[in-house]
Structure 1
Amino acid sequence: MPRYLALLGSINIGGNRVKMAALKAVLAEEGFREVETVAASGNVIVTDRRQASTLERRLEEIISARFGFRSCAMVRTRDEVCAAIDENPFHGTGPEHGSDRMVHSIFLSEQPEQARFDALLDEHKGKGSERLALGDRVLYLDYVHGVGVSDLSSKFLERRLGCKGTARNMNSLKNILAKMD
C-alpha cells in the first residue's frame, strides 16, 4: 500500500491551531493507516490505498469538518518529495546556492500555465533578490534575505499562478524525507 506525505496548508498559522496528536487521532479515526506527523506545521505521513488526488480532497473535507477551517492539502509520494529537494535549483552546496532555511519548495495544487509563471517573473524583476524557478507542480523559491522581508507571500503567489500552494523549506523537507524512509 502506498505511503504518502500530506502537506496541509494553514495549519498552526493565523489562528488555525491544531495539536498534532489531535490531527493524528482524527486521521486514524477516518481510516488512514500508519499516521505520523512531522513538526507542528501540517506535515502528515500516511499509508492509504486511494490515489493522491482523492486523498487531497478527503483531507480538506476532514480538516474543515473536524477542525472548523479550510486547509489545502497537497499529497505527494516519497519520490516526489525527493524530487522537490533534488530538483530545486537553489539547493545544494557552494556560493550560488541558498541556505536550507531560506530555500523553499512550494507544493502546488496543479501545474500553473507557463505564461502565468513568466508574468510573475516579469512583475517581480527588479523588486527583490528572491530567485524563482518552476518545476512539476512545485515552485522553487530562494527567499535569500528571509520570508518575512519578501513581497512574495503565499496569497500573492497563489493569485499570480492561479493555484494554491503550501511551502516547506529544505530543512523541513529533509526531516520529512528521513521520516518517510
Structure 2
Amino acid sequence: MTRYCAFFASLNVGGNRITMADLRYAFEREEFENVETVVASGNVLFDFDERPTEGLEDLFAHMMLERFDIRTFAAVRNRDEVRGAFEDNPYTGIGQDHFVHTLFLEREPDRAAFDKLVADHATRGPETIAIGPRALYIDYVDGVGESRLTNAFIERRLGCRGTARNVRSLARILAKM
C-alpha cells in the first residue's frame, strides 16, 4: 500500500462546508484505508494501491460532487511527492513558514505560461515564485491575505487549477504520513 495525501481546494470556505468526519467516512466508503484528516481544510491522508495520482484526483472530484454536491479539485500526492514539495521549496527556511507556500497544480505547468505569470506579476507585489513538479513555490513575503498574487490570477495564466498549503502545514502533514 502507498500512503497518499489528497489536498482539496476550497473546502470549509465560502459555501463548501463539510465536516472532516463526513469526509473521512466518504473515503472509507470508497474502500481507502487508514484514512485521517489533518487540519480542517481538506487534507486527507489515506493508503491505497500504488497508481497514478491523476486517476485518484478525478475520482475524488466525482465523489465530492456526488456525495456532497461540492465542485472541487483535489491534488493527490504520495509521501515522496509531499516530502519534495516541502524540501524542494527554495523559500523554506528563508521566508516565514506561514507565508511560504507550495501551490499543488493539477498538471505540470507550461514553462512559457510560467514565465508569463512571473512577468505579469513583476509589478504587482513583492512575492517570489519558483516552478516545481506539478507545483509552484511561493513566498508571499507580506502575507497571503493582502497579496495580489491570487489563485485566480495564477490559474488564468497557467490554465490549470491549484490548491496551496504553507510549509508549516506541509511539515505537519509529512510528519503524519
Residue 12 in 1 paired to residue 9 in 2?
no
Residue 24 in 1 paired to residue 24 in 2?
yes
Q: Is the 8 Å Cα contact of residues 35 and 45 (structure 2) preserved in structure 1?
A: yes
Q: Which amino acid aligns with 2:74?
A: A
Residue 176 of structure 1 corresponds to: 173
Q: Distance in 2 between matches of 1:69 and 1:22?
A: 13
Residue 107 in 1 paired to residue 104 in 2?
yes
Q: Give unmatched runs, 5+ long, in structure 2.
A: none
* Deviations 1:137-162 (CA, angstroms, capped at 9, x unpaired): 11000100011111111111111111
Q: Distance in 1 between matches of 2:104 and 2:121?
A: 20
Task: Note the C-alpha offset of 1:51.
Answer: 3.0
Task: Note the C-alpha offset of 1:26.
Answer: 1.3
Which piece of structure 1 moves more, 127-136 or 43-52? 43-52
Task: Note the C-alpha offset of 1:136.
Answer: 0.7
Task: Note the C-alpha offset of 1:85.
Answer: 0.8
Residue 122 of structure 1 corresponds to: 119
Question: Which secondary structure state, in structure 1, belongs to the residue aligned with residue 101 of structure 2?
Answer: strand
Which one of 142, 152, 157 corresponds to residue 155 of structure 1?
152
Residue 57 of structure 1 corresponds to: 58
Q: Distance in 2 between matches of 1:112 and 1:59?
A: 21
Q: Give unmatched runs, 5+ long, in structure 1.
A: none
Task: Note the C-alpha offset of 1:27.
Answer: 1.0
Task: Note the C-alpha offset of 1:53.
Answer: 1.5
User: Structure 1 length normalisation: TM-score?
Assistant: 0.95
Q: Distance in 2 between matches of 1:30 and 1:47?
A: 12
Which one of 135, 139, 149 corresponds to residue 138 of structure 1?
135
Question: Which secondary structure state, in structure 2, belongs to the residue aligned with residue 171 of structure 1?
Answer: helix
User: Structure 2 length normalisation: TM-score?
Assistant: 0.97
**Paired residues, what number?**
176
Q: Distance in 2 between matches of 1:29 and 1:51?
A: 21
* Deviations 1:60-83 (CA, angstroms, capped at 9, x unpaired): 110111111111011101111111
